[in-house]
């Protein structure tokens, strides 16, 4: 006989799989909407501040968009400028690539008895036609442009209608619970903004630390690699390892010695230590910290559902989900499950208090 508790569990599991299916099949609509929503949440305090200073709402929203575009354009310009410096020695890169290809061809011939001519024949047979490649490139470019336009539109309209959307949510709530719902919405928005601002500040701090470390060990184009490693920190575990591996690989291809490569690894270790023990507790706080198990689960689900954009969005969305769970009574157990185990050692709390006092001064 099926009990009421087992029926409840079945309903929750069914709802979970329904949400996952909706996220997967609705990615074309949801992906730009979520990106636009996250950016709108980040700029909401700035927009509200301008409205309080008697700016028209439309002008305030437009200034938010202009600020975002200027920031993105500046980052792209800096990266483009430095990328040309990183890859200016094309001859060296070609020689390294040819040596690698020759080694692979010899390995295949030695272990699989496939001659170089036969290898080229197989590659030519499997190589896609020029027209199909152009079609793939054009369709990808069209999809990117479309998504950029949609993200911009969602960013503008979600900022412009944020009060209207809030009133809609309150109208869906019973009159007796509207004050509680308004408080929950305020807390969720506030902590979400704190998380996004904290993440942005942490990335800037990582840029500075990586730049200082890479410059100290004498790495060429230290600024580019600092920006690259800092940006990839958005993706926990995978991002920092990827950024450091790319830095070591490109430095080795440009003739870096073992001391330089070891210096990159040491810089990575020091920055990770400071990030884990100082920056994250100071800027993100325990209320939005996700434990490693659910961090990996979020990254895997994000990649399965939305690909690379899903990996980038997985952690901010999971952090926002935790915030919502922490402030809704019936969802608090799930927030506890997703979050970190809080340390009750007085020494740890005293240590972080001293750090916060130092930085506040």
Q: Which range is least confidently modeled, 35-39, 152-156, 327-331?
A: 327-331
Does any domain span residue 95?
Answer: no
More confident residue, 22 or 101: 22
Does any domain span residue 347?
Answer: yes
pLDDT at 116: 64
pLDDT at 358: 52
More confident residue, 274 or 86: 274
Q: Which range is least confidently modeled, 20-29, 154-163, 255-264, 340-349?
A: 340-349
pLDDT at 136: 67
Does any domain span residue 142?
Answer: no
Q: What are phi and psi of 113, to 5 degrees?
A: 55, 40
Sign of the dihedral defined by the CA atoms of residues 48, 50, 51, 57, in that order = negative
State the DSSP string of 152-178: HHHHHHHHHTHHHHHHHHHHHS-GGGH
Number of domains the chain is built from = 1
pLDDT digits 0-9 by tens, 90-140: 556 666 666 777 777 777 767 667 766 666 666 565 555 556 656 666 777
Highest mean pLDDT among 82-86, 153-157, 287-291: 153-157
* ∠ CA 290-292-293, rounded to 5°: 105
Does any domain span residue 112?
Answer: no
Does any domain span residue 320?
Answer: yes
If DSSP codes are grouped into helix, strand and coil, which group holds residue 26?
coil
Does any domain span residue 144?
Answer: no
Does any domain span residue 130?
Answer: no
Give the span between the Cα atoms of 273 and 285, in whole angstroms: 16
Split at pLDDT 50, 70, 90, the class of 61 is very high
- pLDDT for residue 357 is more than 70: no
**pLDDT averaged over every residue in the chain:** 78
Q: What share of the chain is helix, strand, coil (3-state, %, to 5)?
A: 85, 0, 10
State the DSSP string of 97-124: HHHHHHHHHHHHHHHH---HHHHHHHHH
Under DSSP, the state recorded for 55 is -
Does any domain span residue 192?
Answer: yes
- Domain holding 358, by residue range, is 179-361
């Amino acid at each position: 006989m099926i009990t009421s508790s087992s029926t409840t569990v079945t309903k929750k599991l069914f709802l979970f799989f329904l949400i996952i299916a909706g996220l997967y099949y609705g990615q074309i609509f949801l992906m730009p909407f979520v990106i636009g929503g996250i950016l709108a949440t980040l700029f909401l305090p700035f927009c509200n501040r301008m409205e309080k200073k008697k700016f028209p709402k439309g002008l305030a929203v437009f200034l938010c968009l202009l600020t975002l575009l200027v920031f993105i354009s500046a980052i792209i310009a800096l990266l483009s400028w430095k990328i040309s410096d990183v890859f200016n020695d094309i001859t060296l890169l070609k020689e390294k690539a040819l040596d690698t290809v020759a080694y692979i061809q010899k390995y295949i011939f030695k272990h699989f008895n496939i001659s170089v001519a036969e290898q080229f024949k197989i590659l030519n047979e499997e190589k896609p036609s020029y027209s199909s490649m152009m079609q793939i490139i054009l369709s990808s470019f069209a999809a990117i442009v479309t998504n950029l336009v949609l993200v911009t539109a969602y960013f503008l309209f979600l900022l412009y209608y944020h009060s209207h959307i809030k009133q809609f949510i309150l109208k869906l709530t019973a009159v007796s619970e509207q004050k509680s719902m308004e408080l929950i919405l305020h807390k969720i928005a506030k902590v979400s903004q704190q998380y996004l601002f904290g993440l942005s500040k942490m990335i800037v701090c990582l840029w500075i630390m990586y730049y200082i470390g890479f410059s100290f060990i004498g790495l060429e184009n230290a600024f580019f690699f600092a920006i690259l490693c800092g940006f990839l920190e958005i993706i926990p575990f995978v991002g920092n390892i990827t950024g450091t591996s790319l830095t070591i690989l490109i430095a080795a291809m440009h003739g870096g010695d073992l001391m330089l490569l070891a210096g990159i690894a040491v810089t990575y270790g020091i920055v990770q230590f400071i990030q884990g023990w100082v920056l994250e507790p100071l800027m993100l706080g325990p209320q939005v910290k996700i434990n490693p198990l659910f961090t990996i689960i979020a990254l895997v689900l994000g990649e399965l559902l939305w690909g690379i954009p899903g990996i980038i969005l997985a952690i901010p969305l999971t952090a926002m989900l935790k915030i919502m769970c922490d402030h809704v009574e019936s969802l608090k157990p799930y927030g506890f499950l997703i979050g970190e185990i809080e340390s009750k050692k007085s020494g740890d709390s005293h240590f972080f208090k001293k750090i916060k006092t130092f930085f506040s001064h």
